[in-house]
Amino acid sequence: MGKRFDFLIIGSGLAGMSFALKVADKGSVALICKTTLDEANTYYAQGGIASVMNGLTDNFEKHIEDTLICGDGHCKADVVEKIVRKGPEMIDQLVTWGVDFDKNNVGEYDLHKEGGHSENRILHHKDNTGAEIQLSLVEQLKKHPNIHIFEHHFAIEIITQHHLGQIITHNTTNIECFGAYVMNEKTRSITTFLAKVTLMATGGIGNVYLTTSNPTIATGDGIAMAHRARGVIKDMEFVQFHPTVLYNPNERPSFLITEAMRGYGAVLRNGKKQEFMYKYDKRGSLAPRDIVARAIDNEMKISGDDFVYLDVTHMNAEETKKEYPTIYKKCLSLGIDITKDLIPVVPATHFLCGGILVDDNACSSIRRLYAAGECACSGLHGANRLASNSLLEAIYYADVAAKHAVKAIEQYDFQLNIPDWNDEGTSLPEEMVLITQSIREVGQLMSAYVGIVRSNLRLKRAMNRLKILYSETEILFDRSVVSREICELRNIISVAYLVIKQASLRKESRGLHFNVDYPGKNPQEAEF
Ligand code: SIN
C-alpha cells in the first residue's frame, strides 16, 4: 500500500529540514532519512556559515569576489551575487528557528575567518556550528503537525515514466518525478511514496573515497538516483579535499580540524616542523583549500610522511580551549594536548562542488524534482568552494525551492498507476562480504587514482577497474533481495563513474581538478 504526500523530501540536513519548515503550512510533508534525524553532513560542519554581517569592515562585493576567486573562473556570477546578498536574511531565518551564533562581549556576532576569505565573516557556534543548526531545526520540525518524519527509511529509486514502462533516455525531455520507492530498514518492506513534488537533499559523496570527513551515510544516493533517472549531473570532477582532518587512520569518519583554526592563527608544518605554505602561496596557511590540500599532498610525497602538522601551540592556551572545545577534548582523548603538542593532520574528501544541475529555482532537469544542498550543482562553488559557503547555499536553495514548489503543486496531481516495487530475489549468505569488499575497492581506486592529483593514465585505470565492479554489482543486484547495503554500493559506483568520466573529459587543471597531463587552464573550459 502506497503513501501520498504533497511534498516528499529525501535527506534531513539543513536543505531538507529548512525546505520542510517552509512548505509545511501549505501541504503534507514526508521527510525521509536514512538513519536518524540528527545524522546528516550538516551536523558535522564545524566551522560555520559565511555571511557579510559587519558593514564596517566587510561588504557584499568582497564576499562575492572571494567566492569567484576561489571558484577559479568557473562560478555562475549571477548565482554568487544573489546568494551572497541574501546571506543576512538567511542568517536571520536561522536565528528565528533558534540557532545560537556566538557573540562577542559587546553583543556583536563573533566572526571567524577561513581560507580564501578576505575578511572575518564566518558565523559559528564554538567549533560545532553544524550540530547547533541541526539540533535547533530538528526541534522545529518535531513541532509541526504536517511534517511526517520517516527515520531509518532509505530511498531506493525515484519514480518516473520508466516505472510505467516508457523508455527513457538522456534525450527524453519531459521526464517527471512522481515520488520514490522507499525501504523501511526495520521491516525491510518497500513502500511507494507518491508526491506532487520531490526535493533531493541527500548531501555528499565522501564515502566514495577511503578517507572522508563525511558521516558514513554520505554515499551520493541522490545524485546516483537522479543519474539513473537520466537527470543532468554536472561538475563531478570538482571533489574538495579538506586540508586538515586529524590523522587517526582507523577512525571513520575522519575527525575534522576546522579551517577556522588557521584563521585563528594555526600554521601548517611539515615533518621537520618547518612552516611550508609560503612556498606555495602568498596567503600561507590561509590560501584556498585546493592550494593547501595540494601543497600538503606534495610535502607528504617529498618526505614520505603520512601526515603533516597543524601548530596552534603559540596561541593563548585558555583562548584555544574556549574557542575550540570539541577539538581540544577530542585530541586530548588521543593524548594530544593541542595547547602544547602539534596536531597530526592529512587531507580527506570533504565536499562535492558538482551534483544534480539546478536552475535559479532549484529545479533539476527532471520535472517535479528539486535539489538543494551538497547533492545539487547551482554554480555557486565553481571549481572550488569557498569555506563555509555550503550551509549558505543549502538554506538559500531550500528557500527558493520552497517558494517555487508551493505554487507548482497546484498544477500537479498524484500519479496513481505506479506498480509496486518488484522485490523478487534471494538473500545470499555471501552477499555482505562481497558488498563490503566492493565498497572498499571503489574507495581504494578512487583514493589512489582520482584523488588530489590525477593523470590520464590514472583516470583510465580507475575506469577500467570500476567497470568490473559495476558488472559484478549489477549481477548481484538483479538476483538479490534489495538491501540498503547493495543500494549504497550501486550508488557509490554510479557516483565514482560520474567523477571519473567528468574528470576525464576536462582537458585542463582548474580549482580542485588537477591533471598532470594538462597542468594549465584552458579558457574555453572555464564557463559553468
Ligand atoms: C571547516 O570547518 O573547516 C569546514 C567548513 C566548511 O567545509 O566550509
Query: Annotated catalytic, 506?
Result: no
- Answer yes or no: is 416 within a domain: no
- Answer yes or no: is 98 within a domain: yes
Q: Could you identify the atom of ligand 1 that is nearest to the CA of residue 46?
A: 2
Same domain, 156 and 205: yes
- pLDDT digit string (tens) for 62-74? 999 999 999 999 9
Instruction: Indicate whether residue 47 lines ligand 1 (CB < 6 A).
Output: yes
Instruction: Give the CATH number for residue 437.
Output: 1.20.58.100
Distance of CA 463 from the midpoint of ligand 1 (Å): 30
- pLDDT digit string (tens) for 375-397? 999 999 999 999 999 999 999 99
Identity of residue 425 = G
Distance of CA 230 from the midpoint of ligand 1 (Å): 32
Q: Could you identify the atom of ligand 1 that is nearest to the CA of residue 240?
A: 7
State which of 347, 373, 396 marks the end of a domain.
347
Residues 6+ positions from 238 with CB-CB distance below 8 Å: 74, 352, 353, 354, 381, 382, 383, 384, 511, 512, 513
- Answer yes or no: is 147 within a domain: yes
Instruction: Give the CATH number for residue 279.
Output: 3.90.700.10
Same domain, 405 and 439: no
Same domain, 335 and 391: no
Same domain, 400 and 446: no
Catalytic residue selected from 289, 368, 385, 484: 289
Question: For residue 179, is pLDDT > 90?
Answer: yes
Same domain, 278 and 375: no
Instruction: Indicate whether residue 45 lines ligand 1 (CB < 6 A).
Output: yes
Residues 6+ positions from 111 with CB-CB distance below 8 Å: 53, 54, 119, 120, 121, 122, 123
Burial 393-413 (b: 16+ CB within 10 A, else e): bbbbbbbbbbebbbebbeebe
Same domain, 321 and 378: no
When divided into structural domains, the chain yields a total of: 3
Q: Which three cell numbers stand for residue 10?
A: 529525501
Same domain, 144 and 25: yes
Q: What is the mean pLDDT of residues 169-192?
A: 94
The CA distance from 414 to 178, in Å, is 7
Instruction: Report residue 187's pLDDT band, with 50, 70 and 90 as the boundaries.
Output: very high
State which of 347, 362, 380 marks the end of a domain.
347
The CA distance from 477 to 409, in Å, is 35
Same domain, 154 and 282: no
Instruction: Indicate whether residue 46 lines ligand 1 (CB < 6 A).
Output: yes
Instruction: Report residue 431's pLDDT band, with 50, 70 and 90 as the boundaries.
Output: confident
Same domain, 310 and 398: no
Handedness of CA 18, 24, 25, 26 (dihedral sign): positive
Expressed as residue numbers, the domain containing 294 is 243-347
Write the residue with the smallest CA distance to atom 4 of ligand 1: 47
- pLDDT digit string (tens) for 332-363? 999 999 999 999 999 999 999 999 999 999 99
Residue whose CB lies within 8 A of the most ligand 1 atoms, among 123, 350, 384, for a mutation test: 350
Read off the pTM: 0.96
| Nearest CA-CA partner of 10 in 351, 372, 410 | 372
Same domain, 163 and 276: no
